Amino acid sequence: MRNFLLMMSIGISVCSCSGEKKEIYKDPNAPIPARVEDLISRMTIEEKVGQMNQFVGVEHIKSNSASMTEEELKNNTANAFYPGFTEKDIERWTEEGKVGSFLHVMTLKEANYLQGLALKSRLQIPIIFGIDAIHGNAYAPKNTIYPTSINLACSFDTTMAYTIGRQTAREMRAMNMQWTFNPNIEVARDPRWGRVGETFGEDPYLVGLMGAQSVKGYQGDFNSTEDVLACIKHFVGGSQPINGTNGSPTDISVRTLYEVFFPPFKEGVEAGAMSLMTAHNELNGVPCHENDWLLTDVLRDEWKFKGFVVSDWMDIEHIHDLHATAENLKEAFYQSIMAGMDMHMHGIYWNEYVTELVKEGRIPESRIDESVRRILDVKFRLGIFEHPYADEAESMNIRMCDAHRETSLDAARNGIVLLKNDGVLPLSASKYKKIMVTGINADDHNILGDWSAPGEPEDVTTILEGLRQLSPETQFNFVDQGWDPRNMNPAKVEEAAALAKQSDLNIVVAGEYMMRFRWADRTDGEDTDRSDIDLVGLQNELIKKVAASGKPTILILINGRPLGVEWAAENLPAIVEAWAPGMYGGQAIAEILYGEVNPSAKLAVTIPHSVGQLQMIYNHKPSQYFHPYVNNKPSTPLYPFGYGLSYTTYDYSDLKLSASEIAKDGTVNATVKLTNTGSREGTEIVQLYIRDRFSSATRPVKELKDFARVTLKPGESQEVTFKITPDKLAFYNKQMQYGVEPGEFIVMVGPSSADDVLLKESFIVK
């Protein structure tokens, strides 16, 4: 009887003396499951379906309806409006409780306004606002812009990933935004693909660790107004498209899915991610947005995912109009929902057609309730019902505060990779008194990277500004090459070549262009894929002509994807891969060039010589280079995964294993001695790789299984110990059964994945 009474007290609803149902969902002290069930019991089918739909913001609609045609709308995946409907229609639907979420709301003022409309609805269910906060809430103006994800991955700093997630969450909530479409935990295995820079690179282990810490950083305890909803994306395979272009078909074996592409998503689920976004592409002939094997069998049944699934930009519509596996839009909605989709991004016909599907009996209302239950659960957990607005007066006390700015600078320092140094670096102000600086990215806010709003001048330090601030006694002569690599002026190239001869040293800042406010002019970023990985335009000509001066020439790269800078690697004395280092990237680069910061980052992706080497990854199968290329091109990369230089040197020695034989469920420790043999303090990223020597199914030649960031003073040594547990040895055997096979395992420890720098020992699993 006592249990029965308890169930009654937290049930869907209870009756008051007047006969009306008590509004349990409005009681912040009631258990969340009871609040959810009470609210669902009060909702019409139209209101339920509305919770499953998302729209772009009204200011976004106003802007794009005035500047875009319907034809331009068809292939645009960044901007939208709704032909035949206006922002007034969207506002009315919001007041009627038929909108569950908005994206592309870029200001606190608009977010609060739209939230106010939602709270006029019958049940007063608040909106959850989503935004692509990829490296900080950078897509919205006046927020801290951290280095991009590929920078973060190159630091191998999982603690920094968590810290940036926590700080991003605070800045988002200060703008009344509660849902970030991040982390992108796709495993990037094709540099032609424009989205490499928003990933954590090519290694499943590193991607999984960085993604999990980002999830934990965003979501926190997932019960306060300083937490936001993380979204692991894109599920799955879009980072290995058949032709390198975003959204093109993906054909990947089930084995490769389980060994390479699934592990980061499984880790994200285990880290507590409460939303997941499906991928644009079809996977092995089935669009991901209607793939019940992915969304139900793997995600729900196998991994026990508890959150909700959201579509990507109009991709449910593409089941019909692009993939052609649904005869019409209504059928596309049906297929996606029945496969496991919970929320639609974005569009106007969802509410009408999905409601019809329920009333026709094709979709059970209980299936709709499943999705709505997941969405409402998140809204209650994040406290949006009790705290639907953000305080405009308090907002800027949180956004871009000193602590967040300092994190952005530290992350930039730790994520910039020194690729080559023949002794010219670090620079000496007394030796190089006159320096020529040129290149498209030398004095441009493009260092902010993709998914960034234009920054205010006082909030961004360009590379030229950073150099002048750090070394004011040096004469920096700047030759502006413009920001657009595809339309460089040959006369400006010649001007730089002439001035280079009069300088003590020259710096060329090259790379890609990524800023979204010039969407059609970009060469890197979302939906900006390439058929090669060479420097665009006259940039190689600029580098060669400046180097022809005979003066030392340094190349700095600002980019999101690996670039095949083969000539520069062979002919220049120094190359710095800075990626997109964020709002203080210019300061961090200057500090590294002048030696105030000792570079420590290591490549999270392999850099090929050229596009003809693709696929070029470190964890390839043994037969991949059995036959060399016949045109004298190497089978090795330009720069390998895990590679990066320092201003000090390190010696690896005395690799020892704690046992030569272990049981299948046993562990073994690998210990290596690391010594700083140089003249200054530095941080080394020690990397552990493992290979299963003989196996029932082919295994990669090596796989990253652990790493450690170790800081040593000159002459200091430290023993670094890695614990090798069964999960680091297990794989899917010939029958796709997961476990550890007996046999020899080779342990490799060193400063990169290159064979010639790795110490090796082996042990036997009995």
Contact 493, 506 (CB under 8 A): no
What count of other Cβ atoms lies within 10 Å of the Cβ of residue 166? 19
Angstrom distance (rounded) from CA 385 to CA 519: 37
- What the block records as the tokens of 211 is 């993604």
Angstrom distance (rounded) from CA 247 to CA 211: 22
80, 307, 370 from 583: Cα distances, Å: 28, 33, 42
Active-site residue flag, 312:
yes
- Residue 567, judged by CB atoms within 10 A of its CB (0-12, 13-18, 19+), counts as middle
Three-state DSSP at 350 gives helix
Angstrom distance (rounded) from CA 680 to CA 736: 49
Angstrom distance (rounded) from CA 421 to CA 573: 6
Contact 352, 7 (CB under 8 A): no
Angstrom distance (rounded) from CA 296 to CA 341: 9
Active-site residue, from 227, 312, 377, 524: 312
Angstrom distance (rounded) from CA 448 to CA 198: 12
| Cα within 13 Å of Cα(335), Cβ side | 23
496, 510, 555, 604 from 437: Cα distances, Å: 8, 11, 10, 28
What count of other Cβ atoms lies within 10 Å of the Cβ of residue 319? 25
- What the block records as the tokens of 556 is 């700095």
Least Cα distance to 637 among 731, 752, 547, 715 occurs for 752
Chain centroid offset of residue 141 CA: 19
Contact 720, 710 (CB under 8 A): yes
CA dihedral of residues 118, 123, 124, 130 (deg, nearest 10): -60
Give 333-348 as a 3 state SS string: HHHHHHHCCCEEECCC
- What the block records as the tokens of 220 is 């926190």
Angstrom distance (rounded) from CA 511 to CA 579: 9
Pairing state between β 743-750 and 759-765: antiparallel
Contact 292, 341 (CB under 8 A): no
Phi and psi dihedrals of 685, rounded to 5?
A: -100, 100
Angstrom distance (rounded) from CA 750 to CA 748: 7
Alpha helices in 619-709 (DSSP H): none
Task: Tell me which DSSP letter residue 693 carries.
Answer: S
Query: For residue 634, what are the β-bridge partners?
Result: none
Query: For residue 393, what are the β-bridge partners?
Result: none
Residues near 531 by beta carbon (within 8 Å), at least 6 away in sequence? 192, 244, 611
Angle at 245 between CA 244 and CA 246, to 5 degrees: 125
Three-state DSSP at 753 gives coil
710: preceding bond cis by omega (within 30 degrees): no
Write the single-letter amino acid at 118. Answer: A
Which sequence positions are flagged as catalytic? Answer: 312
